[in-house]
């Protein structure tokens, strides 16, 4: 299975509550995002994620971030999650998610981590920079990764935007929907390589 989205970004909606979730996810999807992550350290994510999957699962890749344990993958699969983002490499988390048919994007900072993730079945890599560390080894890692595997870093570069996952906060709890819509539209257009006022 390869990465399935058109836009090379994942909208990370940190700290949103179940009351905010549907409106915020609708806003980022309307802006052009087709992958949305709710981190598991968000309030009441157990309510937000199933509601979002039910409402938008046919329009975008809906999933969870900060996934650390295989048991969390099991719970997320029962909720209908399609995307797993991890801050680290945990081979069993990756394999379990791939076994459920989920798209997996683990965080990695070294060549060993990148190849371990790909061997476990990850479809994309979230390159975690350690003050220039990743860029120093990126060329050697990139040369060893098979054609067809994409890193979000490479995808962002191809879209004329350096860096890995958009680390700036697209959303945080309490942000008004109108503000989120404006931010999401600007970032989606930048990632797609087009300009917007």
Is residue 37 annotated as part of the catalytic site, yes or no?
yes
Provide the whole-model pTM: 0.72
Catalytic residue among 59, 71, 92, 126: 126
In a domain, 134, yes or no: yes
Rounded Cα–Cα distance for residues 140 and 58 (Å) = 38
DSSP 50-103: HHHHHHHTTTSEEEEES---HHHHHHHHHHT--EEEESS--HHHHHHHHHTT-E
CATH of the domain at 158: 3.20.20.70
How many domains, in total, are found in the chain? 1
Read off the DSSP letter of residue 6: S
Decide if 142 is catalytic.
no
Q: What is the pLDDT along the chain (197 residues), one digit of tens a residue?
A: 556 778 878 999 988 999 999 999 999 999 889 999 999 999 999 999 999 999 999 999 999 999 999 999 999 999 999 999 999 999 999 999 999 999 999 999 888 999 999 999 999 988 876 555 555 555 555 555 554 555 555 544 554 433 333 434 555 555 566 676 677 777 776 766 654 43
Residue pair 73/83 in contact (Cβ under 8 Å)? The answer is no
Q: Is 127 helix (H, G, I), strand (E, B) or coil?
A: strand
Residue 4 lies in a domain: no
29, part of any domain: yes
Instruction: Classify residue 5: in a domain, yes or no.
Output: no
Q: Which domain holds residue 130?
A: 11-192
Specify the pLDDT at position 171.
55
- Assess if residue 3 is contained within a domain: no
| pLDDT digit string, tens, across residues 6-47 | 887 899 998 899 999 999 999 999 988 999 999 999 999 999
In a domain, 197, yes or no: no
47 in a domain, yes or no? yes
Structural domain includes residue 15: yes
Q: At CB < 8 A and 24+ separation, what contacts does 163-168 make?
A: 163/129, 164/126, 164/127, 164/128, 164/129, 164/134, 165/9, 165/10, 165/12, 165/126, 166/9, 166/10, 166/12, 166/191
> Catalytic: which of 6, 20, 37, 161?
37
């Amino acid at each position: 299975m390869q990465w399935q989205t058109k836009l090379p970004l994942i909208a990370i909606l940190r700290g949103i509550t179940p009351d905010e979730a549907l409106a915020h996810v609708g806003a980022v999807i309307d802006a052009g995002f087709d992958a949305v992550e709710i981190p598991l350290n968000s309030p009441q994510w157990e309510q937000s994620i199933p509601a979002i999957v039910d409402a938008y699962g046919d329009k975008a890749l809906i999933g969870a971030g900060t996934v650390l344990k295989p048991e969390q993958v099991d719970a997320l699969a029962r909720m209908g999650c399609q995307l797993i983002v991890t801050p680290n490499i945990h081979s069993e988390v990756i394999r379990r998610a791939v076994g459920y048919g989920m798209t997996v994007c683990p965080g990695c900072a070294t060549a060993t981590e990148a190849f371990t993730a790909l061997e476990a079945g990850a479809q994309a890599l979230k390159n975690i920079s350690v003050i220039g560390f990743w860029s120093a080894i990126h060329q050697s890692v990139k040369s060893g990764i098979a054609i067809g595997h994409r890193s979000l870093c490479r995808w962002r570069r191809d879209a004329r935007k350096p860096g890995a996952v958009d680390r700036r906060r697209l959303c945080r709890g309490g942000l008004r929907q109108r503000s989120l819509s404006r931010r999401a539209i600007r970032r989606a257009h930048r990632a797609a390589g087009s300009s917007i006022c």
